[in-house]
Chains A and B, each alone.
Chain A
Amino acid sequence: MKSKFALILAGTAALSCMTACDDINEADRFVPVQPVESNRTVLLEDYTGQLCRNCPEAHEIIEGLEKQYGDRFIAVSIHAGSFGVAAGSSTLFEGLMQPQGTGMADKRGITEYPQGVIDGGKPLGRSAWAASVLSALEIPATCEISGSVTYTGSDATIAIDLLLGESFHGKIGMWVVEDNIVSIQQNGAQLVMQYTHNNVWRGSVTPDVWGEDVSGNLGEKEELAFNYTLDKTWKPENCKLVVFVTNNNGDYMQAASIPFKAAE
């Protein structure tokens, strides 16, 4: 009786083994997703580092999302943590980690690299970025951001227009971001000496990196003006201003990227 009992149990387990796998053929692995029409621009904060082996894979994902969504997607790569190389720490190559970088990562709760924060949400591994960007685009934006940034030498003059679709009190943040910086980057087991870094966070126009207070009423156009001095090592022709607006709950309302243009 005992042996029958044991054999029945073993047999049940064996049968279960044969029925409990779901192998998926190559032809069935990808399912189409409806594209989204959106008036929102989503902002991805990419927490990264020049010594981070897996971060180039995250950069490739960003490139894919930029191609897919155009100006509806903005990425900012914030070098931080123990994988970051501090700016000015080497004469052989340029370090891209600004003093504020690690504090920004700590504020967001970044625990590993690379991780991304989409529209101020929780940190996500890179495999979740594409889906989260799609979800964020489904939320209608309630303001529009436009403006201009002109520079003469290292001095930049910033003019921002906010057209509000609702009354709100919140914050406006402005980050200077630079493309086409050639420096080192760990890529897997290899240290690449001439790696092209894009979307690199350089600094904040507002003293608080997360923005300064702004408010307005439905239908109003808020016109804001700022001045900013770039570091002499930055190339203004490769820079852009990433502007984002959050409400008092910290929810992202809109973002925009404004290229720097030389003053005529």
Chain B
Amino acid sequence: MKRFLTAAAGLLAFGFGMQAFDAEILGSKVEFHGSLQTDMLFPEKDDAIGSKTDNGKFNTNTYLDLWAQGTQWSAGFRLEYLEHPLPGFDDPGFKGWGVPYFYIKGRPVDGLEITAGDFYEQFGSGIVFRAYEDRALGIDNAVRGGRVRVTALKGVTFKALAGFQRRYWYWSTRYMTAGADIEADLSQWWKSLAKSQWRWTLGGSWVYNRQPEPDPAIMVPGENLRLNTPRNVSAFDARTQLSYKGFNLYGEWAHKSQDPTEDNNFTYKAGNAAMLSLGWNGGGKTFLVQARRSDNMAYRFDRTASGNSGFINNLPPFTTQHTYTLPSLYPYATQLAGEWAFQGEAAVLFKRHTPLGGRYGTRLKVNASLAYTLPHADKSMPLGSNGASNAFFKTGDLIYRDVNVTVEKRLSRPFTLTLMYMNQFFDKAAIQGEGDRIHANIFVADGRWTISPKYVLRAELQYLNTKQDDRDWLDGLVEFTFAPHWTLAASDLWNVGRTNTHYYNFGVTGSFGPQRFTVSYGRTRAGFNCSGGVCRWVPATRGFAIGYNYSF
């Protein structure tokens, strides 16, 4: 309790003490800004759910960013404190503290931007290159080096970069990444296109990774032989986007050269990915269908790396990312070996004062996602072989299916009700490494009552019905908001089907301008936390938690 109060007091003092400010340096105005994000846990032992205190009685992931913004330049750095990380962030190498991110960026002439230091960047959808940060997943593969962005030519954006990527607290000069990306908006060049409502962009990327011979070498078990691995691995990408009024078509194709890695059992097959997305919106209606096939497209700068670290690219998820608790109990993770994934969505707004819209209007959304493996996996092929051959249009096993219907209706002036039904199939063994093939029906009711301009009450009730795994779950949440600053919440996730365990949580959130904090106490269930197709295992915990965000 003493540590908890000390931490809370420290945060409040910081928040009220730090503010953005301006200064004049060498005759130019410079603004100073920053942001603090800290999540803290004071864990307690709870044998009923497997909560431990093996990592100490205080855990925190804390990030402080500070930067200066001039007229044509900016510079900044980030301090990270991960010496006593939150549960679930126990990858070897994750622990540490220091300043792992610093940069200076300038625009010496119009249309040219140069960055030196650490930076994030993405080419297209990220299939060949994405350097990004996701603190909830402990991912940070920033590039440390240099980047140039050129927008001098009308309608064309050109980027080039080179450097060494971060892996926890290491930037090994043994692994170099370089790349270039160009994207052109043709409507800027063709007058007839510019005059019409058509927009057409073309883009292409190239990424290069240099790796030395792995140390230790990759040996063939049982033989006095080692693998001769390629020093240079490249990936290419071509994409196009066509849009007209509410219609949008996006296509992308990517190729990766031979890249024997831990992910594909060190086989020598090239990788490829193809993606097509068609969408339309207008008149209160939206429609989207997408398909993606990827085969051996996991691209790491260290071929012996595993887990969530060491990636050059990111394969975006092609299944719905749910926000309600029970629909996200079994989250899909992008299959690095390869997959066929499909997603479709249709949404319509029935306007008010219509038979289906009622007095205030009704929103209806239907969404479906499917994911299949490829027929044969590279991991099942011998080390050093050409990998598995898969016909382009053939799929393997269905490992994920999700069909959901959501209706959102304002029943009266102050009251809005959202109802959702979801039918889900989740092959837990294929996606998470072990478990049942789960068939679940999930029901969600979410009501929001605006009592007055100052008070809002929200309540959720969710039910998951399945005969597999831990069987049925019930989840309830009540949230009371005292605008503009306070929200009180209480929730309980109850495993009614097998363990009868309650995962309760009580919390208060305060929001004061740039400051936002949450203080809560309760239990968190062990499970996978997923974002953008990437997942991290989080163990069960019980204790006080503080979350604080401040931007200035």
Q: B221 and A53: CB pair below 8 A?
A: no
Chain B residues numbered 269-287 whose CB sits less than 8 Å from any CB in chain A: none
Bound complex: CA A129 to CA B262 (Å): 12
Q: B152 and A6: CB pair below 8 A?
A: yes
| Contact partner, B225, options A31, A49, A82, Cβ 8 Å | A31
Q: A21 and B227: CB pair below 8 A?
A: no
Bound complex: CA A51 to CA B229 (Å): 32
Bound complex: CA A189 to CA B379 (Å): 13
Q: B156 and A131: CB pair below 8 A?
A: no
Q: B257 and A23: CB pair below 8 A?
A: yes
Known: A9-B180, A52-B433. A21 touches B224 (CB 8 A): no
Known: A24-B258, A33-B226, A111-B91. A9 touches B158 (CB 8 A): yes
Known: A13-B206, A29-B268, A127-B218. A122 touches B92 (CB 8 A): yes
B229 closest partner in A (C-beta): A24
Known: A30-B227, A33-B224, A128-B216. A22 touches B306 (CB 8 A): no
Provide the A110-125 mask, 1 if CB < 8 A to any CB of B, else 0.
0111000000001101
Q: Which stretch of B231-239, B407-415, B447-455 is in the interface?
A: B231-239
B530 contacts partner chain A, Cβ-Cβ < 8 Å: no
Chain B residues numbered 127-183 whose CB sits less than 8 Å from any CB in chain A: 150, 152-153, 156, 158, 160, 178, 180, 182
Bound complex: CA A21 to CA B350 (Å): 54
Min Cβ gap B128→A in Å is 11
- Taking CB atoms, residues of chain A closer than 8 Å to B218 are 127-128, 130-131
Min Cβ gap B236→A in Å is 6
Q: A9 and B150: CB pair below 8 A?
A: yes
Instruction: List, sorted by A's number, 13 A–B pairs whose CB atoms are closer than 8 Å.
Output: A5-B153, A13-B160, A13-B206, A30-B384, A33-B219, A33-B225, A33-B226, A53-B429, A61-B221, A111-B307, A112-B306, A128-B216, A131-B226
Q: Which stretch of A62-70, A146-154, A158-166, A229-237 is in the interface?
A: A62-70
Chain A residues numbered 69-118 whose CB sits less than 8 Å from any CB in chain B: 82-83, 106, 109, 111-113
Q: A24 and B268: CB pair below 8 A?
A: yes
Known: A9-B158, A24-B268. A3 touches B153 (CB 8 A): yes
Chain B residues numbered 311-334 whose CB sits less than 8 Å from any CB in chain A: none
| Contact partner, A17, options B206, B231, B307, B429, Cβ 8 Å | B206
- Taking CB atoms, residues of chain A closer than 8 Å to B230 are 21-24
Bound complex: CA A128 to CA B220 (Å): 10
- Taking CB atoms, residues of chain A closer than 8 Å to B208 are 16, 20
Q: B216 and A131: CB pair below 8 A?
A: yes
- Taking CB atoms, residues of chain B closer than 8 Å to A111 are 90-92, 307
Known A2-B153, A21-B230, A186-B429; further 11 A-B contacts with Cβ < 8 A: A9-B182, A20-B234, A21-B232, A30-B226, A32-B225, A52-B434, A53-B433, A60-B221, A106-B54, A125-B304, A127-B218
A35 closest partner in B (C-beta): B224
Ranked nearest first, the 5 interchain pairs of A and B with the lowest CB-CB distance are A64-B222, A130-B219, A131-B216, A64-B221, A22-B230
- The size of the chain A interface, using a CB distance under 8 A, is 59
Bound complex: CA A49 to CA B434 (Å): 10
Q: A34 and B232: CB pair below 8 A?
A: no
Residue from A26, A30, A54 having most chain B Cβ neighbours under 10 A? A30
- Taking CB atoms, residues of chain B closer than 8 Å to A28 are 228
A209 contacts partner chain B, Cβ-Cβ < 8 Å: no
| Contact partner, B92, options A33, A52, A123, A128, Cβ 8 Å | A123
B217 contacts partner chain A, Cβ-Cβ < 8 Å: yes
Q: A24 and B152: CB pair below 8 A?
A: no
Min Cβ gap A42→B in Å is 13
- Taking CB atoms, residues of chain B closer than 8 Å to A129 are 221
A204 contacts partner chain B, Cβ-Cβ < 8 Å: no
Known: A2-B153, A32-B225, A127-B266. A20 touches B232 (CB 8 A): yes
- Taking CB atoms, residues of chain B closer than 8 Å to A140 are none
B390 contacts partner chain A, Cβ-Cβ < 8 Å: no
Bound complex: CA A61 to CA B430 (Å): 22
A188 contacts partner chain B, Cβ-Cβ < 8 Å: yes
A192 contacts partner chain B, Cβ-Cβ < 8 Å: no
- Taking CB atoms, residues of chain A closer than 8 Å to B258 are 21-24
B24 contacts partner chain A, Cβ-Cβ < 8 Å: no
Min Cβ gap A60→B in Å is 8
| Contact partner, B224, options A24, A32, A128, Cβ 8 Å | A32
- Taking CB atoms, residues of chain B closer than 8 Å to A127 are 218, 262, 265-266, 304, 383
Chain B residues numbered 357-386 whose CB sits less than 8 Å from any CB in chain A: 379-380, 383-384, 386
| Contact partner, B206, options A16, A31, A54, Cβ 8 Å | A16
Q: B304 and A128: CB pair below 8 A?
A: yes
Min Cβ gap A111→B in Å is 6
| Contact partner, B156, options A6, A61, A64, A130, Cβ 8 Å | A6
Bound complex: CA A113 to CA B537 (Å): 14
Bound complex: CA A129 to CA B222 (Å): 11
Q: A6 and B150: CB pair below 8 A?
A: yes
Q: B153 and A125: CB pair below 8 A?
A: no
Provide the B289-308 mask, 1 if CB < 8 A to any CB of A, else 0.
00000000000000010110
- Taking CB atoms, residues of chain A closer than 8 Å to B47 are none
- Taking CB atoms, residues of chain A closer than 8 Å to B217 are 33, 131
Min Cβ gap B511→A in Å is 37
- Taking CB atoms, residues of chain A closer than 8 Å to B90 are 111
A10 contacts partner chain B, Cβ-Cβ < 8 Å: yes
- Taking CB atoms, residues of chain A closer than 8 Å to B222 are 63-65, 67-68, 130
Provide the B378-401 mask, 1 if CB < 8 A to any CB of A, else 0.
011001101000000000010000
B178 closest partner in A (C-beta): A16
- Taking CB atoms, residues of chain A closer than 8 Å to B226 are 30-31, 33, 131
B399 closest partner in A (C-beta): A189
A68 closest partner in B (C-beta): B222
Q: A13 and B182: CB pair below 8 A?
A: yes
Provide the B229-265 mask, 1 if CB < 8 A to any CB of A, else 0.
1111110100000000000000000000110001001
Min Cβ gap A27→B in Å is 10
Chain B residues numbered 168-210 whose CB sits less than 8 Å from any CB in chain A: 178, 180, 182, 206, 208
